[in-house]
Structure 1
Amino acid sequence: MSTTDNQDERELEGTRRHIRPGRLALLILAALAVLGGLLWFILHKRNGFTRAEIEKSFTMAASGQAGVAVFNNGLLRYSADGASFLNSEGRELWNVNFSMNAPRFIGHGGYALLADMYGNTAVILDKTGECGRFTTAEPIINAAVSSTGVTAVALERDLNSLICFYNELGVRLDIEISQEMAVSGYPMAMALSPDGSGLVMSMVSSQSGNLNSQLVFYNFTVGRSEANRLVGFFNHEGHLLTQIDYMSAKRVAAVSEDGLEIYSLEQENNPELKASVSFPGEIVSYAAANRHEAFLCPEAGTGDLILSVYDDNGKECFSKKLSSGARGLTLGSDLVMLQTDGVVDLWDYSGRSYFSGTLSQPGAGLYLMGKKLLQLDGNLIHQYRFR
């Protein structure tokens, strides 16, 4: 063996002697800590969090009886006197003043509409505050807004319904649809496409004591050559279509008292029924967001409720059996929320539990902002952290 080989062996042996028992124990403890952290992450990823603590609280000024909505990664609080916007850190960025008897919030993407139902005023909002407002000669009976700020309002004019359109600045556009309500029905629900070029309405009428709905599709680009811009309609005898949502530019969801229908707009001038879901009983609660629809319905033969969540193709993402006390169904951009007898449950859209537990301030209004849980407690907003 060469002198060099002997020297290498002596150095290796010296290295081995320098790894003392104390240092080896520290290395083992460090490895166990990393492994424990990894196991904790996997466990909570699979089973969700079980504790929620108030991370911070901030004050939101109130003015009369107010409504609250999640809007542009913040909270919009509105009342008959005006509206104010708080960002996710609780700082008020802007406020607007108006006078409305019954303000209704309608949001779509980065725009929102506050319309005075059965009044004559509407205000269009974006992340910077008010960008437009308008008044109408006839009372507003329904309204919709697109993600570009284009707005449609249904007005009641004598025995007719008049649909008028405005841009994001509140300037009236040279488009309107006039219908005789005795013939076409009452505009129960309406929704605008993301770019504002399409409008879908549920027109409700009564015949021989039965309520019927007609789902009508309008398009203001490819439908220019059609009478009144109408490109399709579907009759629903004996059913009341109470809610319409554009789940995307190519998908529309129509909700009745006991069912869901998904319509495809792959061909804009030829809407088609893509999927239909019937529930065993009348829908108890409904919510829509992030290209999903969620329903609480009674389970046949029991007093329990079933939570069912569907994607924009009408495919069921997941379902959960719950007690009859379930309430507060809410969809956010990332999570589904329900409250049952003081317990708050959050799931992601695959049905995996994100959180299940109680809050330190039960009974107040809850709102989802991404994966943040916010709670309205009087004029206080609590933001929770999960553990």
Structure 2
Amino acid sequence: MTDKINKELHLSESMQNLKEKIRKHKLMRWKRIITAAFLGFMIIFGSYLLLEYRTYENTRVIRTYKGDSSADGSYKMFGDSVLKYTKDGMTLIDQKGKEIWNHSYQIKNPIIEINHEVAAIGDSGGNSIIVIDHEGIKGEIETTQPIEKLSISTNGIVAAVLKDEVSPKVMCYDSTGNILVENKVSAAKDGYPVEIALSNDGTTLIVSYLHVQSGALASNVVYYNFGDAGREEKNNQVAGESYTGQIVPSAFFMDDETSVLVGESGFYIYEGTDKPKLKKEVKFDTEIKSVYHTEKYIGFVLKAKDKKGYEICLYNQKGQRTMSKKFQGDYAHVKMVGETVMMYDGVNCCIYTANGVKRFAGQFQDKILDIVPVGGINTYTVMNINGIQKVRLVK
């Protein structure tokens, strides 16, 4: 009986030892798994930081899609495609250089305005406007006076400033050329229209008039609403503001409700289209060199306060500064796509991210006509005189 009890006790101890060994083995296995996972995470995170915060100085061409090498051609990104336009016509091509459609015309000085999926190409100083989308030509417009400025809504409504030293006009057309609004301006009384901007739905129009007040230049900015909100208002005017002693040469809509006016010494954010209200005013104590924007950001290139170089900065829709960096170099072109700011002039290029990381500072192989980030790590589509190139930034 005693032997039986001893055997049972020994068996019990053996089972406990076995369970303890199994527990320790599982614990060690989990420790190894956690350690390996942590090391893997650190490697991936470290690689991400290396890629995200590194400044690149060189480029490598991954692929070239040859164009027709016409020296007078210009390129613009149009959605996911590329629009090439010259004095003789335009061609929509995909990012691999394959033609989607083309259209011939005679436009001496083409200017272009793009709003998401539609665009208007006008003849600066001429009388022709062509409205397009990704399917082709939506319509053609003939104006009665020379074209100075263009703006287009997302539904294809076109606003234009028509030149006349005494009686300029601000016109709105549908995409097929029908006149929707005709506003005759008295340059002596109202000032001269120097900037226009249409809301996305085409119902609200911003016009900045330049005039002389008490011997000094001033701007009078007017919001017109051609929907229900402006029907009962005189001349459809739903808001207006005078800016004494400064010019307001730039205006744009960030989204359906938010618009921005940019003056010589700062900018103004307005909310609403029925009865626009000033939401935020931001003043600068230095010169504005360039303005750019997306639906999320308002961007500026400013002269540095110490007069040595420049400052690139971003503001959100609330007028709060979200990024600011000083840089050297003078770039004629600046644009922002998504979270990337690109400045370029000739072959020289500088790229910043929205969080202030200098992604690239260097030269491309050919003169840059347009550039846009695409899928892939540090990969860009670059338009130049030789066609379209897919380029990767390298150390």
TM range (shorter): 0.7 to 0.9
Please give the root-mean-square deviation of Cα atoms over the aligned residues, in Å: 3.2
Q: How does 1:118-197 map to 2 (within 5 A)?
A: 118-156=125-163, 159-168=166-175, 170-197=176-203
Deviation readout 1:184-241 (Å, 9 max, x if unpaired): 1111000100011110010111345422111100001110111211111100112111
Q: Per the alignment, do residues 281 and 92 of structure 1 end up closer, same or farther by CA in structure 2, a change over 3 Å counting? A: same
Q: Per the alignment, do residues 185 and 274 of structure 1 end up closer, same or farther by CA in structure 2, a change over 3 Å counting? A: same
Task: Say if 2:274 is the partner of 1:269.
Answer: yes
**SS state of the match for residue 43, structure 1?**
helix
Q: Which amino acid in 1 is paired with 2:79?
A: N
The answer to whether the 8 A contact 1:290-1:332 is kept is no
Q: Per the alignment, do residues 370 and 167 of structure 1 end up closer, same or farther by CA in structure 2, a change over 3 Å counting? A: farther
TM-score of the aligned structures, taking structure 2 as reference length:
0.83
Equivalent residue in structure 2 for 1:355, among 345, 359, 370: 359
The answer to whether the 8 A contact 1:280-1:297 is kept is no
Q: Which amino acid in 1 is paired with 2:203?
A: S
Q: Which segment drifts farther, 78-87 or 118-127?
A: 78-87
Q: Per the alignment, do residues 5 and 210 of structure 1 end up closer, same or farther by CA in structure 2, a change over 3 Å counting? A: same
Q: What are structure 1's unaligned runs of at least 5 residues? A: 18-24
Post-superposition offset of 1:306: 1.2
The answer to whether the 8 A contact 1:63-1:81 is kept is no
Aligned to 1:375: 382
Task: Flag the structure with larger Rg.
Answer: 2
Deviation readout 1:17-44 (Å, 9 max, x if unpaired): 9xxxxxxx9xx99986675334212432
**SS state of the match for residue 40, structure 1?**
helix
Aligned to 2:234: 227
Q: Which segment drifts farther, 192-201 or 272-281?
A: 272-281
TM-score of the aligned structures, taking structure 1 as reference length:
0.85
Q: Which amino acid in 2 is paired with 1:131?
A: K
Q: Which segment drifts farther, 200-209 or 238-247?
A: 200-209
Deviation readout 1:147-196 (Å, 9 max, x if unpaired): 1111112224672222322223x131443222212211111000100011
The answer to whether the 8 A contact 1:257-1:283 is kept is yes
Equivalent pairs counted in the alignment come to 375
Aligned to 2:288: 283
Q: Per the alignment, do residues 249 and 343 of structure 1 end up closer, same or farther by CA in structure 2, a change over 3 Å counting? A: closer
Q: Per the alignment, do residues 324 and 54 of structure 1 end up closer, same or farther by CA in structure 2, a change over 3 Å counting? A: closer
Task: Say if 2:257 is the partner of 1:250.
Answer: yes
Aligned to 1:384: 391
Aligned to 1:22: none
Q: Per the alignment, do residues 58 and 12 of structure 1 end up closer, same or farther by CA in structure 2, a change over 3 Å counting? A: farther
Q: What are structure 2's unaligned runs of at least 5 residues? A: 1-8, 26-31
Q: Distance in 2 between matches of 1:210 and 1:31?
A: 67
Aligned to 2:123: 116
Q: Which amino acid in 1 is paired with 2:208?
A: S
Q: Which segment drifts farther, 72-81 or 156-165?
A: 156-165
Task: Say if 2:369 is the partner of 1:365.
Answer: yes
Aligned to 2:244: 237
Q: Which amino acid in 1 is paired with 2:206?
A: V
Q: How does 1:69-108 map to 2 (within 5 A)?
A: 69-108=76-115
Q: Distance in 1 between matches of 2:255 and 2:336?
A: 16
Aligned to 1:214: 220
The answer to whether the 8 A contact 1:330-1:338 is kept is yes
Aligned to 2:6: none
Post-superposition offset of 1:343: 5.6
Aligned to 2:205: 199
Post-superposition offset of 1:363: 4.7
Post-superposition offset of 1:285: 1.9
